[in-house]
Amino acid sequence: MPELPEVETTVRGLRQKVLGRTFINFWTDSPKIIKKPSSLKKFKKEIKCKKIKKIERRGKNILFHLSGNKTLLIHQKISGHLLFGKWKKKGDSWQAPPGPLADKINSFIRVIFVFKNKQMMALSDLRKFAKVELWDTIKLLESDSFRKLGQEPLERSFTFKKFKQALANRKNKIKQALMNQEIIAGIGNIYSDEILFKAKISPLRTVNSLKEKELRKTYSAIKSILKQAIKSKGDSFSDYRIITGEKGEFQETTKVYQKTGERCPRCKTIIKRIKIGGRSSHFCPKCQT
C-alpha cells in the first residue's frame, strides 16, 4: 500500500500537473470504487466543471479541494496509483503512449478524470481496492474517520513532546503503534520496519518498555526515514509508481524491509521476518534490541 512518502510524492507531482484544471468528463469501469455519493450518475454530475483549487495529503489520503466547496478524496489502498497523461480507448481497454505509462503495472485503468486538451488523470489499480469519494468539504473535515487521523509526522507541530504523549501508557508493540493511523498518520509496513531498524529498536518491544533515549531515537528515525523516502520518490518494490508511470527509488536503499534471509547491513546477522498483529515485520534480531 502506498504510504506517506508515496502519497506525498504523488501529491507534489499532481500539483504541478493538474492544479487549476477543471474536470470536463469522467469514466470508470469499476463503479464500486466510487464510494461517495452512492449513485455513479450523481458523482459524474457533481464532479463535472469543478476546478481544482488545492491539492494536499492527509495521512494516506489525497485531497483535491474543488470549487463549490467540494473535496475529492482518493485513497489508493493496496495497489492503486494515480497517473497523469493521455490515453486512447481501444476496445475494452485504454492504451497509453510509448514510455513509462505503457508499463504493464500501469495498465489496470479503473478511473479516468478528463481535463481540457484531452489531458487525463487516471487511477491504475490491479486489485480494485482503491476508493474515490466526493464530499462537501466541511462534512469531510468534520467526519469521524477524518478527525480520528493522528499527527502528521513531518509537520512542525509533530514535536517529540507530542510524540511521547501520543504513546503514553500504551502497552502494545511499537511496530503496531507506529502503524496506528490514529497515533501517527501515514506510516505502514515499509516505513515502520525501516524506522525501527534505524533506531535499533526491536519491533517486538512494547511501547511502555521504551526508555526516553529510545523514544528519541525512534522519533528522529521517523523524520529522517520519511524525508529520505520522499527525496527518493517513494518505494516501488511492488505496485506503486509516480504520476509519470516511473518507479520511485527508495527500494534501492531499504535495509530490512523484504530482506528476509539476507545479512544485516550493520552486523551481518540474518534478517528475520515475523508476524505482529497479523502484519509482517522484518528486523535484525541482534542489533535491534
Q: Is 147 a catalytic residue?
A: no
For the residues 99-107, what does the mean pLDDT come to? 97
Rg (CA), the chain: 20
Give the residue among 86, 26, 14 at the shortest CA–CA distance from 53: 14
Q: Which residue do the cell numbers 476508493 mark? A: 131
Which 8-state DSSP code applies to residue 131? E
Task: Name the band, by pLDDT with cuts 50, 70 and 90, for residue 1.
Answer: confident
pLDDT recorded at residue 14: 98
Residues above pLDDT 90, as percent of the chain:
98
Quick: pLDDT tens for 46-94.
999 999 999 999 999 999 999 999 999 999 999 999 999 999 999 888 9
Residue 91 C-alpha cell reads as: 476496445
Confidence at residue 92, expressed as pLDDT on a 0 to 100 scale: 85
In the CATH hierarchy, which fold is given to the domain comprising 160-283? Helicase, Ruva Protein; domain 3 (1.10.8)
What does the pLDDT look like over 166-194, one tens digit per residue? 999 999 999 999 999 999 999 999 999 99
Length of the chain: 289
Q: Is the pLDDT of residue 102 over 90?
A: yes
4-147 is classed in which CATH architecture? Alpha-Beta Barrel (3.20)
| Whether residue 158 has pLDDT greater than 90 | yes
**Is the pLDDT score of 195 beyond 90?**
yes
Q: How confident is the model at residue 37 (pLDDT cuts 50, 70, 90)?
A: very high
Which one-letter DSSP state was computed for residue 195?
Answer: H
What is the model's pTM?
A: 0.97
Q: What is the pLDDT of residue 84?
A: 98
Q: What is the pLDDT of residue 144?
A: 95
Catalytic residue among 60, 198, 233, 247: 60
pLDDT reported for residue 210: 98
CATH 1.10.8.50 residue ranges of the chain are: 160-283
Active site residue 5: no
Q: Are 71 and 137 in contact (CB under 8 A)?
A: yes
Question: What mean pLDDT, rounded, does the chain reach?
Answer: 97
Is there a catalytic annotation at residue 2?
yes
Q: Which of 126, 139, 143, 4 is nearest to 62 (CA)?
A: 4
Sorting pLDDT into bands at 50, 70 and 90, what band is 219? very high
CA distance 104 to 81: 13
Catalytic residue among 216, 223, 266, 279: 279
Question: Catalytic annotation on 152?
Answer: no
Spatial separation of the C-alpha atoms in residues 266 and 248, rounded to whole Å: 24
Q: Which residues contact 238 (CB under 8 A, 6 or more apart)?
A: 79
pLDDT of residue 231 exceeding 90, the answer is yes
What is the model's pLDDT at position 34?
A: 98
**Residue at grid coordinates 527508495:** 250
Q: Delimit the CATH 3.20.190.10 region(s) of the chain.
A: 4-147
**CB atoms inside a 10 Å sphere around CB 194:** 26
Is the pLDDT score of 155 beyond 90? yes
Catalytic residue, candidates 2, 5, 100, 153? 2
pLDDT of residue 101: 98
